[in-house]
Amino acid sequence: MKDRGLRLYNVRMPTRRAFAVLAAAAALAAAKPPAPQGPPPADMGRLLSVIHSTHLYEIELGRLAADRAQSLRVRRYGQRMLGDHRIADRKLMDLARARGWKIESAALSEEERLHLQALVALPAADFDVAFVSGAREGHRETMDRLAAAEGTVTDRAIRRYLAVTMPILHQHWLLAARLLQLGSRA
């Protein structure tokens, strides 16, 4: 008798293979999280601290844009940055915690504080363009730094984290470029 298969995620698989996939997925879900590994190597700890600090800064920028932007598109962009960076930072902290690593809770740098103060001090009419220009430039710099560091990361989970985070940063950069192209008051 011909095996008619089982539909799994819109992909037709032979029934035995589908059950093998489900069994493997169940086994992975039941697996214990990795055991704590002690402190991260110094360079990894530095990288994770920089990523964490960057997320905190982007969260503050997103919050500021969600509150101050004149354009609905820029407000939505700020809300998206706020949400995406909160999620990414939470995942980073969970990943570090699962490995027994402690990431230094970094306050904003002096440069970041000054930039936020300068944005707050801008007249409302100038805020949107200044915010979006800075977001585009900042996301480009962050992507460049992470791409350079990506080759040195040996931890598989951190590599996966970067592989998931980089496209989100790229999307933020593209959205900022598009908003500038449209004229952020549109």
Structure confidence at residue 167 (pLDDT): 95
| Spatial distance between the Cα atoms of 51 and 42, rounded to a whole number of angstroms | 14
Interval 6-26: pLDDT, tens: 443 333 444 455 444 444 444
Domain ranges across the chain? 1-31, 42-182
CA 110 vs CA 41, 44, 68, 184: distances in Å = 27, 23, 22, 28
Nearest alpha carbon to residue 135 among 162, 172, 164, 170: 172
What predicted TM-score, i.e. pTM, was given to this entire model?
Answer: 0.74
Give the mean pLDDT of 80-107. 90
Fold of 42-182: Ferritin (1.20.1260)
